[in-house]
Structure 1
């Protein structure tokens, strides 16, 4: 099996947002110390100093807890982030009653001061841009209510909080995407090395034996000729297997369709694919591969033992075209409808149904003595709609 990232490398990839969490912890500590200084400076003028001390105590405990949790990957949980936002909201509301009316107008900073920005940063690191922006806007609205008025300074703080949430969230999303790309590159590298190792081993042993059996069986003739034919088929199939590119996927879940089709090559089936990658959503690639297999299965069942087939894949940019053609006797008029009426649903479900789910079109070209060709056109990205069969 191909090797996969493990050990320290895997942990480094898994903890790719750790620097951002550590930055959130540092911000939490610095802003808490600032809040303590502001509280000490204005405590004698508070309308409800006991509530102020309780608010500061809650901030102290929660700062210690979040620092403990956020420095550990196991502590970075959704419920902690939600409680962080809710508790910060409650403490801002409490600050409204701690300050006197004169302090609110003067204005004197709320007890939470800039410590309230900590929940915005943690939300952004955990949930990305949307979560950071929404939490920043929410904390700003609560602060506006606590103040009881809106001015230029508060507008500035609102923009800063929302902007911080967006920027930090963007950094978190970028870090996670980078980690996914790194993990995928490491898997692809490991898969390529393993495939090259297996290819060398297979070439030096199995392929050489199969080639020798094929040549010797052809020389002997008779029953040995049948063994030679079978050996030749397996030799071609094995060469296709070891030469096919390893399956890769992008961050958006797209894969290269070519390797799946290349594995269908046999002495009777030729597969032609573009030299460059044909990236499709993983589901679409799997369904198109299944369509090709079903069409080739029909060739084996109905076109005769000597029929040959050709699989052609074309990348037209906005759509992908898959063609499966054979040189068999063709399909008599009305045969597909009759087969469907008899309960044989291979074409209706395995070909037409799959393509319809992908929002594509299926075209069938056949005539007596001229073989059969299925042409499937599938858009790269399009909402699901009913397929069309011409």
Structure 2
């Protein structure tokens, strides 16, 4: 499967980014090749076993028929598992079911006297190849289930339980678990590698844009700010606005890119840092505060709405502070200003007049997140919004 590649350069480094599917496929390919080699090798072993013991079979023709099905299925799965399009759960499921049926048919090929000896069945170790495939496809759970089912059918074919059968059962389950663990680890590593490559390319592109902005927009804003301050009058107001935009743009450029993790989480800190202006101070933990992407978007929207209200009602000289706290399972976002505060009953009046900024943009979003909202205000004491949400989002 061909994926779209993109390239980003920065500081002399060129990073080629493939899709997550391509990265995963290249990481899992060695495990699938190992599964194919194991199946082919065990089929050769089963063929030799049939040639050595066929004279002891009760129904030789059925034994050869089973071997023929094993040969055809070995060819098919070797081709399928060697291609990315063949790495499908339904193919692996059919593989497990067919293998269990062939193991069960050994009871019709062999008589009771043969089965009561430790000699191999028709499928012998070839039956374990489906366990390997299930473990590669579905991880530890798939490997354990396939290994347990394989051991259970083998037990019913034999009809008794001995130390040797117990040993084989433990080996089957252990093979499924260990290979499944390797598969799960490989998948996780592939996702982390893809994320790292994307973050590196995004950072390189961000640095390139930052240089362009610094050489152009920021220098112009800085010049407007200085000249406007020197001229005075209406130009001083323009200088003030230019200075605010210069600070906001510098914060945006300096903030780390909000990269998504494998499980759909982002670091909330950088997304809040871009809200900083000369009148707004943003404080976030030094360590990443990862929350679901949707939760981060809602919390940033809440902070923007609270800051917008502060800008409208707190006065031109008021300041605001945004504080993010990581409490482990909970995340607390506080937005405070030093304006005149909200008079008692004013929010209810605004809602009655059809102005739904607070009730819809703040309270509604917090309710959707399943969090709690606290409003601390009094005339002359400013306004503080405290939003507390579970780290995992809505419960």
TM-score (norm 1): 0.91
Q: 2:224 aligns with which of 213, 230, 233?
A: 213
Q: Does 1:322 align with 2:333?
A: yes
Aligned to 2:288: 277
- Specify every segment of 5 or more residues in structure 1 that has no aligned partner in the other structure, as ranges: 385-390
Q: Is the 8 A contact 2:206 2:253 kept in 1?
A: yes
Q: 2:297 aligns with which of 278, 286, 299?
A: 286
Q: CA RMSD in A?
A: 2.3
CA distance in 2, matches of 1:262, 1:383: 24
Q: 1:195 aligns with which of 206, 214, 218?
A: 206
Aligned to 2:342: 331
Mapping 1:87-106, distance limit 5 Å: 87-106=98-117
CA distance in 1, matches of 2:18, 2:201: 15
Count, aligned residues: 384
Deviation at 1:375, TM superposition (A): 1.5
Aligned to 1:183: 194
CA distance in 2, matches of 1:121, 1:343: 64
What SS does the corresponding residue of 2:258 show, helix, strand or coil?
coil
CA distance in 1, matches of 2:184, 2:279: 48
CA distance in 2, matches of 1:139, 1:14: 28
Aligned to 1:299: 310
Q: Does 1:231 align with 2:231?
A: no
Deviation at 1:305, TM superposition (A): 4.2
Q: Is the 8 A contact 2:140 2:180 kept in 1?
A: yes
Aligned to 2:32: 21
Q: Does 1:157 align with 2:168?
A: yes
CA distance in 2, matches of 1:265, 1:383: 28
Q: Does 1:370 align with 2:381?
A: yes
Aligned to 2:126: 115
Deviation at 1:177, TM superposition (A): 1.0
Q: Is the 8 A contact 2:23 2:194 kept in 1?
A: no
Task: Tell me whether 98-107 or 277-286 shows the greater mean CA deviation.
Answer: 277-286
Deviation at 1:306, TM superposition (A): 4.1
What SS does the corresponding residue of 2:282 show, helix, strand or coil?
strand
Q: Is the 8 A contact 2:371 2:394 kept in 1?
A: no
CA distance in 2, matches of 1:383, 1:296: 24
Q: Is the 8 A contact 2:333 2:386 kept in 1?
A: yes
- Specify every segment of 5 or more residues in structure 2 that has no aligned partner in the other structure, as ranges: 1-5, 9-14
Deviation at 1:325, TM superposition (A): 0.8
Aligned to 1:52: 63
Task: Tell me whether 282-291 or 127-136 shows the greater mean CA deviation.
Answer: 282-291
Deviation at 1:314, TM superposition (A): 2.5
Q: Deviations over 1:91-124 (max 9, x none)?
A: 1121111112221122432111110111100000
Aligned to 1:387: none
CA distance in 2, matches of 1:274, 1:376: 16
CA distance in 1, matches of 2:388, 2:19: 45
Aligned to 1:71: 82
Task: Tell me whether 330-339 or 229-238 shows the greater mean CA deviation.
Answer: 330-339
Aligned to 2:17: 6
CA distance in 1, matches of 2:290, 2:381: 33
C-alpha distance 189-344 of structure 1, shift in aligned 2 (>3 A): same
Task: Tell me whether 262-271 or 204-213 shows the greater mean CA deviation.
Answer: 262-271
Aligned to 2:264: 253
CA distance in 1, matches of 2:177, 2:368: 37
What SS does the corresponding residue of 1:131 show, helix, strand or coil?
helix
